[in-house]
Structure 1
C-alpha cells in the first residue's frame, strides 16, 4: 500500500480503483482545498508535508519541479488514459515494482500500446 495524493487533474475514477487496490489516496477535495488553483510548487510542498507521494497527469511541470525541488515525498507522473482501470493498474504495478517508494523519487507511468 502506498500513501498517495492525487492532484485535481488526476481522474477520480482512477483514484477510486487505486483505493480498491488498497492504496491510501487523498485528494484536495478531502482536505477542503479543491478548486483553489493551488500552484504546483505549493501543492508539492503540501503533499510532502503530508508524507504523501503526489500522483498527476501534469508531467511537464512536475518533471521541472522535481529538478528544482528534489526534497519531496515522491512524484508519480502518468500519461492520460480514458481507461481509468488500466491507468490505476499501471500505477499499482509501478508502485509494486519499486518495493519502497522513497522520498525524492520521480516515477513515470507510461500508457501501453
Structure 2
C-alpha cells in the first residue's frame, strides 16, 4: 500500500479512512508544528525526505510542481467530495491500480452525481 503525506487542507477523515484501507498516511499536522503553514515546495520536499507521495486538494499548485520536476515519490491531486467515504474509495482505487507512484501525477476526480 502507499505511503502518503496529506497536506494541510486535506480532509482528516479521508486520511483516516485511507488508513483503514491499509495505507500509511501521515498528515502535516501529525508531522509537527514546523510543517504547518509551509510553502508547497517544502511540503513536497518533506514528503520526498520521508519517502512518501503527497496527497492534496491543491491541484493547481502541485500540478505545477510536478511539471517543474518529476523527481518525487508521487503526487496525488484530488477534487473535493463531501462524501468522504466515496472520496477515500476513489483514491484507494487509483492507488492500488498503480505499481509505483514514483515520479507520477495521479488525478482523482469526483464523479458527477
Instruction: Please confirm whether the aligned pair reaches a TM-score higher than 0.5, indicating the same fold.
Output: yes
- Superposition pairs for residues 4-83 of structure 1, below 5 Å? 4-33=4-33, 36-83=36-83
CA root-mean-square deviation: 1.3
Q: Which structure dedicates a bigger proportion of its chain to helix?
A: 2
After superposing on structure 2, the runs of 4+ consecutive aligned residues of structure 1 that deviate more than 6 Å are: none
Q: Confirm or deny: 8 A CA contact 1:79 1:110 kept in the other structure.
A: yes
TM-score by length of 2: 0.94
Shift in CA distance, 73/17, structure 1 to aligned 2, threshold 3 Å: same
CA distance in 1, matches of 2:8, 2:66: 18
CA distance in 1, matches of 2:101, 2:14: 23
The Cα offsets for residues 47-82 of structure 1, whole Å up to 9 and x where unpaired, read as 011110100000000000001121011000000111
Q: Confirm or deny: 8 A CA contact 1:56 1:78 kept in the other structure.
A: yes
Say yes or no: does 1:105 pair with 2:104.
yes
CA distance in 2, matches of 1:35, 1:41: 12
Number of residue pairs aligned between Structure 1 and Structure 2: 112
Q: CA deviation at 1:102?
A: 3.2
TM-score by length of 1: 0.94
Q: Confirm or deny: 8 A CA contact 2:8 2:36 kept in the other structure.
A: no
Q: CA deviation at 1:35?
A: 7.0
CA distance in 2, matches of 1:104, 1:53: 9
